[in-house]
Amino acid sequence: MKYLVMCIGNRDDGDDAVGPYIADKLKLKKSDKIKILDCGTIPENYTSVVKRENPETLIIIDAVEMGLKPGEIRIVPKEKIGVMTISTHGIPISVLIGYLEKYVKNIIFIGIQPKEMSGDITTIVKESGDKLVKILKQNKLKIIKILN
């Protein structure tokens, strides 16, 4: 398997639902090269699946407060993860990634800037989720900007 995608988020917390939203959209089309995990708010419960699947690349997707316009998509470099506010999960993403690096050589963390973290997912973030789904399906990760 080439890609394993961990989609993280809470379906009941506004734009934090973007991860599960993307998981739903990606699961609509099965692929031998991409496997999707809807991790909800407990991505640490899926580490055994990551180890078993042994992907070439692990892509982690979550709503991330990056100080950008709502809906902006960025690849978040490892050195930026520890200093950012990352949604609403049990363990910090930096700890999760640190653990998974023992098993997967290439980990890409993609953040989408939320607008609202309560109520329903906003239109702007949903549109960004749709855009990211297209990028993933077309294997065009290189067009995503890296967070400065």
Domain boundaries, the chain: 3-143
Q: What are phi and psi of 63, to 5 degrees?
A: -75, 135
Could you tell me what percent of the chain has a pLDDT over 90? 78
pLDDT band at 29 (very low <50, low <70, confident <90, very high): low
pLDDT tens digit string along 45-99? 999 999 999 999 999 999 999 999 999 999 999 888 865 544 455 678 888 999 9
Distance between CA atoms of 101 and 93, rounded to whole angstroms? 12
**Could you tell me the pTM of the whole model?**
0.92
- For residue 109, how far is the Cα from the chain centroid? 6
- CATH tag for 3-143 (out of 2.130.10.30, 2.160.20.70, 3.40.50.300, 3.40.50.1450): 3.40.50.1450
Q: Residue ranges of the alpha helices (H) in 4-122?
A: 18-27, 47-53, 78-81, 93-100
Overall average pLDDT of the 130-146 stretch: 95
pLDDT band at 34 (very low <50, low <70, confident <90, very high): confident
